[in-house]
Amino acid sequence: MTRSVRLSLEQLQPYLLDVPPPRLPPGQVPSEPPQPLRWSEVFGSDQPVEIEVGFGKGAFLTQVCQSRPTAHFLGIEIERKYVLMAAGRIAKLAPKNVRLACTDAKWFFSNRVASSSVDVVHVFFPDPWWKNRHKKRKLMSPDFVADIGRVLKPGGIFHFKTDVKDYFEQTQIVLGPEPTLREEPDSAYGLDGAMTNFERKYRIEGRPIYRAIYSKRDAS
Ligand SMILES: C[S@@+](CC[C@H](N)C(=O)[O-])C[C@H]1O[C@@H](n2cnc3c(N)ncnc32)[C@H](O)[C@@H]1O
């Protein structure tokens, strides 16, 4: 049996984006308002930027950072244990084009992502939050969709997948009136078969997978 080697936090550090927590402890006031990040400073050079929201164990990022070395990938995940797990897998590949942020994507988008600065936003298999009392926790709210539209460059892509038909339909309803985005045919965007952990599992189980592609309209 082979044992996987655990890397130290120091070895993971190059892949972790240092983001202050979305909520400061009670009574603590931020010294200055958070500023949008400059991608060339985050990654060290200018290349197209793709963001994956809620990357879980990081299978998608692990694949695309190798298959598409000329793009820069930022993963955002709220659960620290997944961030560390994915960072461990990514660090062993030593790519130069991935960073991971442990934070709430909604807060991160509205506070740290500049308008018209991102080429692709991926949201794959977000938690469905079935119970009515948990509805507010759903990721795909009108505010978040508006922020996705704001941060994409003109012509940039929003890429959404879920196995939950209801969530897919609700998301289409939220996306429909968003003036910055336009629905595109499925053929408008492909990804060489890169899959998240959930997608791999669901495909093996034969579950249906619903996918939507939207593009950012030109400002004119
Ligand atoms: C159902 S899992 C899917 C994981 C992964 N996308 C996949 O397909 O394997 C949803 C993930 O989104 C993360 N998440 C939920 N809300 C989030 C938020 N507001 N910001 C960032 N990540 C979030 C969860 O911690 C979880 O890892």
Q: Which residues pair with 75 in a beta bridge?
A: 52, 100
Q: Residue 68: what residue type?
A: R
104: Cβ below 6 Å to ligand 1?
yes
Question: What is the mean predicted confidence (pLDDT) over 188-193?
Answer: 88
Contact 181, 217 (CB under 8 A): yes
Q: What does the radius of gyration of the chain's CA atoms come to, in whole angstroms?
A: 17
pLDDT band at 220 (very low <50, low <70, confident <90, very high): low
Contact 122, 51 (CB under 8 A): yes
Active site residue 127: yes
| In the chain, domain spans | 44-216
CA of 124 to the centre of ligand 1 (A): 8
Q: What is the 3-state secondary structure (H, E, C) of 190-209?
A: CCCCCCCHHHHHHHHHCCCC
> pLDDT for 76-98, tens place per residue?
999 999 999 999 999 999 999 99
> pLDDT for 127-138, tens place per residue?
998 777 777 889
Quote the pTM value: 0.94
CATH of domain 44-216: 3.40.50.150
pLDDT band at 108 (very low <50, low <70, confident <90, very high): very high
Ligand 1, from 17, 53, 164, 201: best to mutate by most atoms within 8 Å of Cβ? 53
> pLDDT for 8-45, tens place per residue?
999 999 999 988 666 666 777 667 778 899 999 999 99
